[in-house]
């Protein structure tokens, strides 16, 4: 799927993910974890990838029936940014002691089985994978 990287398009992203999982029995916990990760990734792209401009995001999705695994790749042509190089926030600190930023990608990483990043051919590519059973 390809669409404008705008927060208002999150329901379309969720519908795309729903279509990939339509025939699968998935626990509400696994679904919540996936939805959280997808939302954090998409909203970060929509909010930061293109600065003040607006660009597109392509989302590729594959259901792997033999492993009951969903694989999603988020592709944008925004500023090169590897979110995996950002240090995880110290969640043991009180809220007022923490530095801003980084919590969204931290939550996304904690709720999927794997996350990989590459910058190739002028595009950020963030790949996530999650076993759904």
pLDDT at 16: 97
| Structure confidence by residue, pLDDT tens digits, 67-120 | 999 999 999 999 999 999 977 666 666 666 666 666 678 899 999 999 999 999
Rounded to whole angstroms, the Cα distance separating 35 from 76 reads 20
H runs (alpha helix) in the chain: 10-20, 28-44, 103-110
pLDDT at 100: 62
| Structure confidence by residue, pLDDT tens digits, 31-80 | 999 999 999 999 999 999 999 999 999 999 999 999 999 999 999 999 99
Give 78's contacts (C-beta < 8 A, 6+ positions apart). Answer: 5, 45, 48, 49, 50, 51, 55, 124
Q: Where are the domains of the chain?
A: 2-131
Angle at 16 between CA 104 and CA 28, to 5 degrees: 65
Tokens (6 digits) for 39: 């939302």
In CATH terms, the fold of domain 2-131 is Heat Shock Protein 90 (3.30.565)
């Amino acid at each position: 799927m390809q669409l404008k990287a705008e927060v208002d398009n999150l329901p379309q992203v969720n519908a795309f993910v729903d279509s990939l999982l339509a025939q699968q029995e998935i626990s509400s916990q696994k679904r919540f974890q996936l939805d959280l990760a997808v939302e954090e990734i998409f909203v970060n792209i929509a909010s930061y990838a293109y600065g003040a401009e607006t660009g597109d995001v392509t989302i590729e999705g594959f259901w792997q029936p033999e492993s009951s695994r969903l694989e999603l790749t988020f592709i944008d042509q925004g500023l090169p940014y590897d979110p995996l190089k950002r240090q995880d926030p110290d969640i043991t600190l009180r809220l007022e002691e923490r530095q801003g930023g980084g919590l969204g990608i931290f939550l996304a990483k904690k709720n999927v089985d794997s996350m990989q990043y590459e910058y190739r051919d002028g595009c950020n590519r963030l790949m996530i994978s999650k076993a759904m059973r």
